[in-house]
Amino acid sequence: MNRQNRNRQQQEQNNQEGDEQPQQPRQRNRIQGPTSALSSFLREHGIHIENRSRRRRQEEREERQQQQQEQTTENASTSDNNNTTPPVESTSASSSTTGTPEPASTTTTSILYAPRQRRRQLNAAATQLIEAAQATCSSSSSSSLANKKKGKRKRPSSDSDSDSDYDNGSETDGGPESSSNRRRPFRERRNEIVFCDKCKGRFARPVRSGNDIETENICPPCTSGETPNKKRKKTAAKRRINGVALGQNKVPSLQDTCIMVVARYIDDVEAFGEIGPVNLDKLSKIISKNRKLTSHTARLFMEPTSRDLALYDCTNIDETGLSNIAHFCAQLKSLKLIYCGQMTSKVLDIYQSHLKNLQSIELSGPYLVTKDAWIDFFKTVGKRLEVFKLSHSFRFNRECLEALAVYCPDLKELEFSRLNMMQDNWMEVIQNFKHLKTLKLAWPDPKQPKITSKSLVSFLNSSGQELVKLSFAGLTLVDDQVLLDGLLENCPKLKILNLRGCERITSEGIQKLFNEWNQFLQDNEEKENEEHDGDHGIPVIQKKNQGLIRLNVSRVLDLDDDALKAILMHSSKTLEKLNLHSLDKISARGLEMIAGKYSLDDGNTMSGMKACEKLKKLNCGFIRSMDDLVLKLLIEKCISLERIDVWGCNQVKKKEK
């Protein structure tokens, strides 16, 4: 009896533990999977998507199965409660909690765990479920394992923006229902903006799948044939003028390629060898542009037999390097040094004593050379100096200019640019140069008294007969008086004229100047045809200009179509370079006159006029009337045109490739 009582008490205790354990509420799992921006947006705005994921459908199926099992277990539990002796499996199930391993307990535990029901707590019917599962453990466990193996299939890839598949931490799907009831992803119902391959216009269309990426994009108007077809592009050969492709550079020759290679590795070169003066000048420009010209590399250009030397960036050449020019190139006749800021009076003294054949010198930026050094240099060089060009210097004053006029009276080219001390009274000294062919007075210091038209007219009356090149760039006080009283009667040999920035010059002054020159040309031609003396014609004395080769009237803002017409009537047959930068008053009709196209309003005055066939360079920057039609006409009619600048011309469209 004692043994039976002890067994009965132990069995009751185990039953109580088995009954109490399932009744403990399981804590809710708060771990969630990754959430996309779309899921967060929908959740914040209270938007619920039906049948959002396969995991939710799986949970709903499990809930229905759980409810069916609960109904069956209620019926089974009522019949089991009438039995006095509990089944052996219950003991094994209860003993599984104490650590005794049994096969039935494993099956019961898997049903009790229910990992897919983390968001719901076990109700009181869980205890009855365990008791009912003891009778049907074999059938339920086999079906559960079959469902798990079936659910372990690889999940198909989905492009949906929703991340709800990761909410419950599983990748299984419940069978054919998930594939048959699956909705199309929301992304496929969107539209995308694409460009038509034919008309280049934008249009909207539904988003295509990855397999249709290679499909051609054609808009509905082009598909229906409503869009007119564009004209066929001309071949590249028709856009060429005299072998020059507009907008493209020529293929470099082998010689130019070798020069670029040598310039790239100039630091490793020991000697150039025998290189012609033209190629040596190219090499100097490339090295100076790359800022590799130093005292060491400049030594490569210094040869005892050199006659001309040009260094275009002497910033990194010190005083010793500049002095070496006179030591190694004693036979120099022409010397050009740009940005020679480290040149001193000592260097200039070495030049005057060693360079016995020097005839031309051009210096830019010799700030350290004093007034006395300049005067001594002119005394030593004397009459053999023919060309003197100076820019960016604030120590060269009137006394230096007077010494230049006294000791170098045979000067042929004189250029002063950006000199701080240049004033109006300098013109009295410059009149003493009777053989000048080139004169440049440009960009004086705005703080000093500026050069006036009166002094310029006085100089032109005395020394303008031999002038070939004349530049008054940046002289803001120059007006029509210089044109009519100076250039009109005194510059018959003038070929290059630069009036850049002379804002006081008017359109009427330009018209009168070029019309007078043109009328003289017509009268001269008539006399040559009428007057004869035997087989030889009587020569006509040349008194006025025969035609300009280069003309720069940029930023002379008052010039209009009439002024341009007068220029073309006189110099259209001779012009090679024309700069019309910022002349906003010139219309498209005026620009077409350069190509030889004149309107009916011009009458007989322009009859027989042709395009500027010798024009090579044309600058039409910031002329608003320039458009595609005018540009095309200029390219077709000006057969010698090599370069045309259209910066700031907003009506000129980008060339389509």
- DSSP states along 287-344: HHHTT--BHHHHGGG--TT-SEEEES--TB--HHHHHHHHHH-TT-SEEEESS-TT-B
pLDDT at 514: 96
Q: Domain with 577 in it: what CATH number?
A: 3.80.10.10
Backbone torsions φ then ψ of 307, nearest 5 degrees: -105, -30
Which class for 381: exposed (0-12), middle (13-18), buried (19 or more C-beta within 10 A)? buried
CA gap 540, 531 in Å, rounded: 10
Give the pairing of strands 334-337 and 308-311.
parallel
Q: Is residue 604 part of a domain?
A: yes
Backbone torsions φ then ψ of 110, nearest 5 degrees: -65, -35
**Token pair in block for residue 473:** 């760039």
Q: Between the CA of residue 268 and those of 290, 292, 297, 303, 323, what are the distances in Å?
A: 15, 12, 9, 18, 23
Which class for 58: exposed (0-12), middle (13-18), buried (19 or more C-beta within 10 A)? buried
The model's confidence at residue 539, banded by pLDDT at 50, 70 and 90, is very low
The whole model's pTM is what?
A: 0.62
Phi/psi region, residue 624 (left: phi>0; alpha: psi -120 to 50; beta: rest), is: alpha
Q: Total structural domains in the chain?
A: 2
Domain that holds residue 195: 189-224
Q: Is residue 610 part of a domain?
A: yes
Q: What is the DSSP letter of 368?
A: B
Q: Which of 172, 201, 224 is the last residue of a domain?
A: 224
620-646 residue pLDDT tens: 999 999 999 999 999 999 999 999 999
Radius of gyration of the chain (CA): 49
| Number of residues assigned to the chain | 657
Of 254-258, 484-488, 565-569, the poorest mean pLDDT is in: 254-258
Of 81-90, 197-206, 254-263, 375-384, the poorest mean pLDDT is in: 81-90
Q: Is residue 512 part of a domain?
A: yes
pLDDT top residue among 344 and 275: 344
Q: Is residue 356 part of a domain?
A: no
Q: Is residue 430 part of a domain?
A: no
DSSP character string of 382-445: GGG--EEEEEEESS--HHHHHHHHHH-TT--EEEEEEETT--TTHHHHHTT-TT-SEEEEE---
The model's confidence at residue 352, banded by pLDDT at 50, 70 and 90, is very high
CA gap 464, 582 in Å, rounded: 29
Q: Is residue 613 part of a domain?
A: yes
543-600 residue pLDDT tens: 678 899 999 999 999 999 999 999 999 999 999 999 999 999 999 999 999 999 887 6
Q: Is residue 620 part of a domain?
A: yes
pLDDT at 119: 40
208-249 residue pLDDT tens: 655 455 567 888 888 887 655 554 444 444 444 444 444 445
pLDDT surpassing 60 at residue 490 = yes
**How far separated are the first and last CA of the chain, in Å rounded?**
109
Q: Which of 198, 224, 250 is the last residue of a domain?
A: 224
Backbone torsions φ then ψ of 106, nearest 5 degrees: -65, -40
CA gap 618, 568 in Å, rounded: 13
Q: Is residue 259 part of a domain?
A: no
